[in-house]
Structure 1
Amino acid sequence: MSLTILPLNENHLDQVWLIEKQAHSHPWSNKMIRDVNSRGACHHVLVEGEQILGYFYAQNIVGEVTLLNIAVNPMYQGKGYGRKLIDAFIEMCESLGAESAWLEVRESNAKAFDLYESMGFNEVDRRRNYYPTTNGKEDAIIMSYIFF
């Protein structure tokens, strides 16, 4: 079967919610996952057949696109699917005529930081003590990608 990136729809939400709970130490709420019609929403899933392998949630506000959430099912991590999702995110931004793309990543998530950096994102700032951890807080690294 081939991999496909599709716009997220209501039929995907149960699988997305399961992945969200498995993939993140501090997952979004089920309500947030199911809010697919928020302002500027452009959410997508990576599917193989009927199986969702991963997803991203993004928001496009006046040419500035923010990657709000991204995850790959832990059973499929390490196979390049995160890179495919970021590729799709960047392509989507280009097709929307975006001027810039933004994201933030936990400072402890070195794999994600390295992936984003390898895809052309640059660290521009930090939100100190932003994310909760099991024993305190950690910084959010803010990264941007500028389209020319």
Structure 2
Amino acid sequence: MKEEAFIKVKEALGNYLYHSLTYTEFEDIADYELLTETEGLILISGFNREADSRHYHWAALSPEKVIEATKEDHNFYLEFIPEEWVDTFTQAGYIVRDKFRDYTKPDLSDITNEHSHAEFLKVDESHKAAEVTMSCKGQSRGFTGQTQEWIVEWLTKTEDIVHKAVVLDRNEEKEIIGVCFTGVYGVNSQKGPVAWIREIAVNPRYQNKGIGRRLIRQALSYCKSHGAVRAFLAADECNVNAIYLYKSLGFQPAADTQIDIMRE
């Protein structure tokens, strides 16, 4: 997809009732293909490496427009489906892939200097961190794990998220058994910079031992040391155990959700 076409699509989004492109930059979908651009529908297709799946971005006046354009296709997903459209999609054979809710922690006053005891992932162990995330694949609806390539990019690529890091935990054999991806964004926000808990994974054999809690607190401490004054994460509504943990750490749920659907 050419950048000129992407800019044109962005400019036209106001003509559609809903769309999935609010947070999308050209770099995110530079290798995607613009399939359809009509009065009632925009459809952009590509392969999402993080999800390890084909992926559609869309803008539409009705769910029927999207269904008609994708009804012969399989093994893909679509993001940011409005709540009132979900029944129409499920009746057409699509299923809910995940339903994410934002959680915010309004201040970090209870977070101490715990990052001073933390260990941080180095690039040369990215493959071991990837194995930990893959060991949790499917434990939560929509969680697909991360590849070594994605983790290397997380540690090395410059973007709006600054001070990116992966806090890790090891067992007695020095094997990596837990990881927490974190970073800081909103550095110019009037409310102050935000600590982002991007993702956390603990090898299933070591879960329910307090490792996840420790990793999150160390990640928040690390971000606080880099100026963060509040925190953000997202969780699928079915991930009950994780939500209990997040709430116990002071994260508060938002009202809105992000619904993603897929067709197998």
With structure 2 as the length reference, what TM-score do the two structures score?
Answer: 0.45
Match of 2:168 among 45, 51, 57: 45
What are the equivalent positions in structure 2 for 1:29-40 lying under 5 Å apart? 29-35=147-153, 36-39=155-158, 40=162
Please give the secondary structure, in 1, of the residue aligned with 2:223.
helix
For structure 2, the residue ranges without an aligned partner over 5 or more in a row are 1-116, 139-143, 188-192
Give the corresponding residue for 1:28.
146
Moved over 6 A (4+): none
Quote how far apart the aligned CAs of 1:9 are.
0.5
Identical residues among aligned pairs (%): 24
Match of 2:197 among 67, 75, 79: 67
Is the aligned partner of 1:14 residue 2:127?
A: yes
CA contact (8 A) 1:44 1:56 kept: yes
Quote how far apart the aligned CAs of 1:68 are.
1.0
Give the corresponding residue for 2:44.
none
Quote how far apart the aligned CAs of 1:87 are.
1.4
For structure 1, the residue ranges without an aligned partner over 5 or more in a row are 137-148
Is the aligned partner of 1:129 residue 2:259?
A: yes
CA contact (8 A) 2:183 2:223 kept: no
Quote how far apart the aligned CAs of 1:31 are.
2.1
Match of 2:217 among 87, 95, 104: 87
Match of 2:179 among 55, 77, 85: 55
After superposition, the CA RMSD in angstroms is 2.1
Highest relative contact order (Cα 8 Å, sep 6+), 1 or 2?
2
Tell me how many residue pairs correspond in the alignment. 131
CA distance in 1, matches of 2:211, 2:200: 11
With structure 1 as the length reference, what TM-score do the two structures score?
Answer: 0.77
What is the letter of the counterpart of residue 231 of structure 2? A
Please give the secondary structure, in 1, of the residue aligned with 2:250.
coil
Q: CA-to-partner distance for each residue in 1:83-111, whole Å, 9 max, x for gaps?
A: 11111122122222212211001111000
- Give 1 or 2 for the bigger CA radius of gyration: 2
Please give the secondary structure, in 2, of the residue aligned with 1:42.
strand
Give the corresponding residue for 1:76.
206
Is the aligned partner of 1:108 residue 2:242?
A: no
CA distance in 2, matches of 1:128, 1:60: 22
